[in-house]
Amino acid sequence: MMNMMEYTSTRSSKAVTSAQAILQGIAEDGGLFVPSSIPALTGQELESLLEMDYVGRACLVLSKYLTDFSKEQIEACVKGAYLNRFDGNQPAPLREAGGMELLELWHGPTCAFKDLALQLLPYLMTTSAQIAGDQDEIVILVATSGDTGKAALEGFKNVKGTKILVFYPQNGVSPMQKRQMTTQEGDNVGVCAIDGNFDDAQTGVKAIFGSREVAAQLRERGMAFSSANSINWGRLVPQIVYYVSAYCDMAKAGKIKMGDPINVVVPTGNFGNILAGYFAMRMGIPVNRFLCASNRNRVLTDFINTGVYDRNREFYTTASPSMDILISSNLERLLYLLSGEDTGRLNHWMEELKTAGRYEVDAETFEKLTAKFSGEACDDGEGAAALRQLFEKTGYLCDTHTAVAVGAYQKYLVKTGDDTPAVIVSTASPYKFAASVLEALGQTPAADDFAKIEQLAAVSGTAVPAPIAALKGKSVRFTKVCDKASMVEAVYSLLRM
């Protein structure tokens, strides 16, 4: 009989089940839920994973964490999320180019890696509500830098017992991302632009989650908030699967032997994706090093190089908008694990972050961090050069976020000569960021958004993903813009309260 996995906050020790952690999203003390131990994959399990498809691999990995779900429940969730929703029924294929393995996570309905988690989360959440005997209508509140919002809208649209509201920074998302969100279909969805940047949207959403007053207003109406941001454990756990799966695919293809280490390069914003990779490693996937790639908003690069996290700096809008972030929420989970689960120290650092915008970790935690993580940053020019070079040398076209990872990896290679086989996590379709991709290729983008799409297809000889092509015929439903100080009113209005 397997032990029940418990979840505690990074800031206190009160334990909940996985269903409760997923429903609640964020802990009452403002901390993030983490499993009380990290389950291991045995050698035998790893061998058996080689022969499984993505659905089978996801079921096995999830069953280690969601111990209060039945086997049948997990299987139903996983099949609902991954069967017939991804191009070619392959949610996470590997493509080799330029001596790298690109893990393409953008073959889902919104063409970004967020689909891997957000196709599954609605199933995990409604199943969690069943397990917990919770009757409330679930209100999902999302702050997005572009990709999460659309992926969450697609995942939750028309899901019974849920409503979803998305806030995005008015001038901080690409035209295609904006169009994806403002044309969203479904009778339980709402979308609102914020007059501010992503951090403003995220801070506003966190404040609404933390407000007893708003919670009481909702409760009176039989509703309760939950989060689809990567602070929710239910967002993170599906992401562990594709690291395990990529390793198995490499071993199966004979690119590595079982047990050989790999390097993992992740274009990073909120630190959710790369953290899931770290969990995969702790479960038993051999990873030599994680390279955390940042754009010009290089707060994480500086942190990994100095031990000082300092958000007191200029915020830049870049060609990789989903990484334009100065507060990387999921770093809190890594620091919790590295500091020996020391909630006292976590409270102290997070309080300093809140009040002074800065904290410095102790020498021991810093040593553990740098033992596994490297950080490199690429500005827009360097990212564009990496994108163009890869395309000209190999014919492989990547998006601007993945280009940051490719460029960062090249810098890392020059510095270290580390020739461990590397997986570069490819996080979005280039067609989501057509203008920047065209510019990187030395083209002058056409004026019209859809003309850009056709232009990119012609220049690159690649196919336009069906969900992007389909946007052309859709009309805009959501045009509201709100002040960052009036987000609560916007929530009430979208919920018609």
Ligand X SMILES: *Cc1c(COP(=O)(O)O)cnc(C)c1O
Site for ligand X in 387-416 (CB under 6 A): 401
- Please state the closest distance from residue 3 (CB atom) to ligand X, in A: 29
Structure tokens at 482: 């709100």
Applying CB under 6 A, does 321 fall inside the site for ligand X? no
Among 127, 427, 436, 455, binds ligand X (CB under 6 A): 427
- Please state the closest distance from residue 268 (CB atom) to ligand X, in A: 4
Interaction mask 238-267, ligand X, x per CB under 6 A: -----------------------------x
**Count of residues of this chain found to bind ligand X when the rule CB under 6 A is applied:** 16
Site for ligand X in 215-234 (CB under 6 A): 230
Backbone φ and ψ of 36, nearest 5°: -70, -20
**How deeply is 314 buried, as exposed, middle or buried, from its count of CB atoms within 10 A (0-12, 13-18, 19+)?**
exposed
- Please state the closest distance from residue 242 (CB atom) to ligand X, in A: 12
CA angle at 409 for the pair 303 and 399, rounded to the nearest 5°: 100
- Sign of the dihedral through C-alpha 457, 462, 463, 469: negative
Applying CB under 6 A, does 374 fall inside the site for ligand X? no
- Cα–chain-centroid distance for residue 458? 30
- Please state the closest distance from residue 429 (CB atom) to ligand X, in A: 9
Of 69 and 290, CB closest to ligand X: 290
347/320 Cα distance (integer angstroms): 31
Of 182 and 318, CB closest to ligand X: 318
The answer to whether 450 and 457 have CB atoms below 8 angstroms apart is no
Among 102, 299, 428, 441, binds ligand X (CB under 6 A): 428
Q: 């690291």: which residue's tokens?
A: 243
Site for ligand X in 265-284 (CB under 6 A): 267-273
Backbone φ and ψ of 483, nearest 5°: -70, 150
Among 323, 390, 441, 494, binds ligand X (CB under 6 A): 323
- Sign of the dihedral through C-alpha 319, 266, 293, 272: positive
Of 112 and 377, CB closest to ligand X: 112
Question: Could you tell me whether strands 422-426 and 100-104 are parallel, antiparallel, or unpaired per DSSP bridges?
Answer: parallel
Of 69 and 243, CB closest to ligand X: 243
Backbone φ and ψ of 296, nearest 5°: -60, -20
Active-site option among 14, 64, 79, 114: 114
* 391 three-class SS: helix
Applying CB under 6 A, does 322 fall inside the site for ligand X? yes
Q: Identify the bridge partners of residue 167 per DSSP, sorted by sequence position.
A: 143, 192
- Please state the closest distance from residue 114 (CB atom) to ligand X, in A: 6
List the end-to-end C-alpha distance of the chain, in Å, as a whole number: 47
- Please state the closest distance from residue 494 (CB atom) to ligand X, in A: 23
Of 152 and 159, CB closest to ligand X: 152
- Please state the closest distance from residue 22 (CB atom) to ligand X, in A: 18
Question: Could you tell me whether strands 15-16 and 94-97 are parallel, antiparallel, or unpaired per DSSP bridges?
Answer: unpaired
114 is catalytic: yes
Of 46 and 142, CB closest to ligand X: 142
Between the CA of residue 165 and those of 108, 127, 147, 162, 202, what are the distances in Å? Answer: 21, 20, 14, 10, 13
Residue 4 per-residue DSSP state = P
| Contacts to ligand X by CB under 6 A | 112, 114, 147, 230, 267-273, 322-323, 401, 427-428
**Residues annotated catalytic, as ranges:** 114
